[in-house]
Amino acid sequence: MKHFVRHQFVPIVALLLAAAAQAQTFVFKGGERWEINDPLKLDTTSIPPKPATPDPKKGVINAVKGTIDRTTNQGGIEVGLTRKLTEVIDILWPMPARLTEAQNNVNRGEPGKALDNAEAVLRLFEPMKNISGSWWTKASLIKLDALDRLENDAATASFLDAFEKEDVAKQPAVATQIQLARLMQRARKGDHDAVISEASELITKIESSEIQARLHIVKGNSLFASKKYEAAMNAYLRVPVFFGAEVEHVPKALLGAARSFRGMDSPALKEQKLEAISNRYLYDIIVTFPVSKEAEEAKKLLPKEERAKAEADQKKIAEGGPLPEGVIMAKPKLRPEEAVEGNK
């Protein structure tokens, strides 16, 4: 009996701990913790959805006053408590759903929607942007991605100028993201030789697989624009080979590789069937990343019959059918100690 009870109790404890870990919590000076209402949470039972009614027993953020307000029961009497945001020393907050949706918007080629979602998170965490656990920096980087998708260099430059003045910009990973954004701006202005050189140098210094994937795509884009198609193809294909776990960047790399094979095609290389190879990559994008912006681009490039087959196969997969043989799928995320160094 004792053995049976222990195994019933352990899962319950694990569930309670997991639930606690998912709650939005502020840690104050002195170690006191308050569970916080999520101001971004919506009541989906309402049409249209509206902000969920806050629980008064949890903290309510008042960004205007710079406080968190909470009601507690002390001896049968409800007492209002207030703490200042400046007293928060740590934030325990799972990734906000609107930030996840902002990233998905970027991947689907919906930069306007991405900006709306990212801005909501930026406003929430603005008073706490330099506190451990804040999502302000991540939201800023997603906003940067959205601005890049819009190719609005004036807005991007203005945002980067302000971002570089923030304390978080001194962090090596953030500083590299800013440097990468500047590179992408220069590429759009046609400074491809400098972009290729600087990207190649950064690739040898950066450990982050996510930034590595971005750098190879930026380098590939400038090589492609310089009509160095084979070198561009090699740069693009390092992403699915070495950094396939960075799922959001794989369709960009596959599309770049497909276009590079088309650029390489010529009567002298007819026997290599480069267009057929290109079409296979386009097929993989449609089948594996159907809601991406790149899938829409791939459909424009594929011949009509092959496009119809890709769309039909993707529909079968969505309905639970088997994956066609040879399709390139995103790799699972690796633990840091298992990561492959694709820049060596």
With 60 as the cut, is the pLDDT of residue 310 above it?
Answer: yes
Predicted local confidence at residue 326, as pLDDT = 62
Phi, psi of 115 (to 5 degrees): -65, -40
Q: Minimum mean pLDDT among 7-11, 62-66, 134-138, 272-276: which range?
A: 7-11
Mean pLDDT in residue range 239-261 = 95
Residue 325 and residue 267: Cα distance in Å, rounded? 30
Q: How confident is the model at residue 221 (pLDDT cuts 50, 70, 90)?
A: very high
Whether residue 18 has pLDDT greater than 80: no
pLDDT range class, residue 22, cuts 50, 70, 90: low
Which letter, b or e, does each residue of 155-176 get, where b requires 16 or more Cβ atoms within 10 Å of its Cβ? ebeebbeebeeeebbeeeebeb
Q: What are phi and psi of 297, to 5 degrees?
A: -65, -40
| 120-142 residue pLDDT tens | 999 999 988 999 999 999 999 99
User: Exposed, middle or buried by CB within 10 Å (0-12, 13-18, 19+), for 317?
Assistant: middle
pLDDT score at 329: 53
More confident residue, 60 or 201: 201
**pLDDT-above-90 percentage for the chain:** 62
Q: Indicate the burial class of 250 (C-beta count within 10 angstroms; 0-12, 13-18, 19 or more).
A: buried
Instruction: Please state, in angstroms and rounded to a whole number, the distance separating the CA atoms of residues 194 and 201.
Output: 11
Q: Length of the chain in residues, anyone?
A: 344
Report the distance separating Cα 164 and Cα 247, nearest Å.
27
Eight-class DSSP state of 49: -
72 pLDDT higher than 90: no
Q: For residue 40, what pLDDT band results from cuts at 50, 70 and 90?
A: confident
Is residue 10's pLDDT more than 70? no
Does the pLDDT of residue 333 top 80, yes or no?
no
Contacts of 28-35 with C-beta under 8 Å, sequence gap 24+, read 28/83, 28/87, 28/88, 28/89, 29/87, 29/89, 34/58, 34/59, 34/68, 34/70, 34/83, 35/59
Looking at residues 240-269, what average pLDDT do you find?
Answer: 92
Q: How confident is the model at residue 342 (pLDDT cuts 50, 70, 90)?
A: very low
pTM of the model: 0.76
Residue 79 has pLDDT above 90, yes or no: no
| Residue with more model confidence, 229 or 266 | 229
Which residues are bridge partners to 50 per DSSP?
43
CA 250 to mean position of chain CA atoms: 12
Q: Is the pLDDT of residue 306 over 70?
A: yes
- pLDDT (average), residues 284-290: 94
Beta-carbon-side half-sphere exposure of residue 131 (alpha carbons within 13 Å) = 20
Q: Read off the pLDDT of each residue in 202-210 and give the average, rounded to a whole number.
A: 92
Q: Is the pLDDT of residue 143 over 90?
A: yes
Number of helices and strands in the chain (H, E) = 13, 8
The rounded distance, in Å, linking the Cα atoms of 141 and 137 is: 6
Surface-to-core class of residue 242, CB atoms within 10 Å of its CB (0-12 exposed, 13-18 middle, 19+ buried): buried
Average pLDDT of the segment spanning 47-67: 78
CB 342 within 8 A of CB 242: yes
Average pLDDT score, the chain:
85
Two tokens, residue 336: 């840091």
